[in-house]
């Protein structure tokens, strides 16, 4: 039942976003409030989202996005091409937003939320967002040049969606936030709900240099055992000659990130980002995993309507 509810909610959110995007894309009116700041820059104090405001962006990028799964690689040229349709919209404290300070989220990940409290240098929100992407082992294997026995016959993993309380603290040129999220991937193949706690924190510092906005970031995330086990554990029905039974433990992920924007015009900007992720070493005990460090890179252009 919880899985069906999450799926229905996800469909509704996606439908609203799509309809709103199509509507806004057809508008021909100009925005008097938008000046040369069309290209998103850092905000150093909380902003109450009371008025109706929106910003629609298209991101075209080349990105290297490795995953921790064993022997999974980007094999085709189109695997590196990323197209993101990004919408920021707010009204009466409700908002749908992307995180302009993160290179990993500029490719399309959004947060739906509501502002509980907005003070001079801090704010409190409740948000709904995806914390894990799901994966289909059969589809992954189709895209690989060689077979991956450790993934063959493995059940599909659903995305994890979390409802979180977020505290954000603002500084002169920086922001720190922490999410405490109740997350769920729905039911696994044995009918057990994959529910757990996620604590996600990130610090981002804006370093202006000439016309560049350079964001230096560091993050630390905790994932509950049930969620890690759902993604990289192996249950009794999935055991094979190359995939022994495995129960995964809780894990941490640390991240270091550099993300930069450079305005090319009033609406166009150049973007580049480098993210280094470090997962707990115990995740390599899983037969589905062969690495616990990932280096992600993206370079592209962003158009703001």
Structure tokens that stand for 7 in this block: 């799926």
Q: What is the dihedral of CA 183, 44, 176, 284, to 10 degrees?
A: 70
The pLDDT score that the predictor gives to residue 101 is 65
At 25 the pLDDT is 36
3-state secondary structure (DSSP) of residue 167: strand
| Pairing of the two strands 160-170 and 122-132 | antiparallel
A 10 A CB-CB count for 304 gives 21
Phi/psi at 226 (5° precision): -60, -35
Predicted structure pTM score = 0.81
Tokens for 47, please give them: 């902003």
Q: Which of 230, 285, 219, 276 is nearest to 252 (CA)?
A: 219
Name the residue ranges covered by the structural domains of the chain: 52-304
- For residue 160, what pLDDT is reported? 92
103, 274 contact by CB (below 8 A) = yes
- The pLDDT profile of the chain, 305 residues, written as one tens digit per residue, is 333 333 333 433 344 333 333 333 333 333 333 333 334 444 568 888 899 999 888 888 999 989 999 989 888 888 888 888 888 999 999 999 887 667 655 444 689 999 999 999 999 999 999 998 889 998 898 888 788 899 988 999 999 999 999 999 999 899 999 999 999 987 766 666 789 999 999 999 999 999 999 999 999 999 999 999 999 999 888 999 889 999 999 999 999 999 999 999 999 999 999 999 999 999 999 999 999 999 999 999 999 98
Q: Which pLDDT belongs to residue 190?
A: 64
For domain 52-304, the question of CATH label 2.40.160.40 is answered with yes
CA angle 70, 74, 75 (to 5 degrees): 110
Confidence at residue 227, expressed as pLDDT on a 0 to 100 scale: 94
State the pLDDT at residue 73: 86
């Amino acid at each position: 039942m919880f899985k069906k509810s999450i799926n229905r909610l996800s469909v509704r959110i996606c439908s609203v976003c799509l309809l709103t995007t199509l509507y806004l894309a057809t508008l021909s009116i100009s925005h008097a409030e938008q000046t040369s700041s069309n290209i998103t820059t850092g905000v150093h104090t909380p902003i109450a989202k009371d008025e109706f405001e929106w910003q629609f962006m298209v991101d075209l990028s080349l990105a290297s996005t490795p995953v921790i799964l064993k022997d999974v690689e980007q094999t085709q040229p189109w695997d590196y091409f990323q197209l993101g349709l990004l919408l920021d919209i707010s009204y009466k404290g409700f908002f749908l937003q992307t995180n302009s300070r993160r290179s990993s989220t500029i490719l399309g990940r959004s947060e739906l939320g509501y502002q509980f409290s907005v003070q001079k240098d801090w704010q409190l929100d409740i948000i709904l967002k995806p914390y894990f992407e799901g994966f289909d082992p059969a589809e992954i294997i189709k895209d690989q040049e060689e077979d991956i026995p450790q993934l063959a016959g493995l059940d599909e993993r659903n995305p994890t969606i979390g409802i979180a309380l977020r505290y954000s603290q603002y500084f002169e040129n920086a922001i720190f936030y922490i999410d405490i999220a109740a997350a769920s991937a729905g039911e696994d193949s044995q009918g057990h709900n994959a529910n757990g706690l996620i604590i996600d924190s990130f610090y981002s510092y804006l370093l202006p240099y000439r016309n560049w906005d350079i964001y230096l970031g560091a993050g630390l995330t905790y994932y509950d055992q049930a969620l890690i086990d759902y993604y990289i554990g192996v249950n009794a029905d999935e055991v094979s000659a190359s995939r022994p039974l495995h129960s995964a433990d809780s894990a941490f992920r640390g991240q270091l990130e550099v993300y930069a924007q450079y305005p090319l015009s009033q609406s166009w900007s150049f973007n580049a980002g480098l993210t280094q992720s470090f997962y707990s070493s115990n995740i390599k005990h899983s037969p589905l995993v062969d690495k616990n460090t990932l280096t992600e890179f993206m370079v592209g252009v962003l158009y703001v309507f």
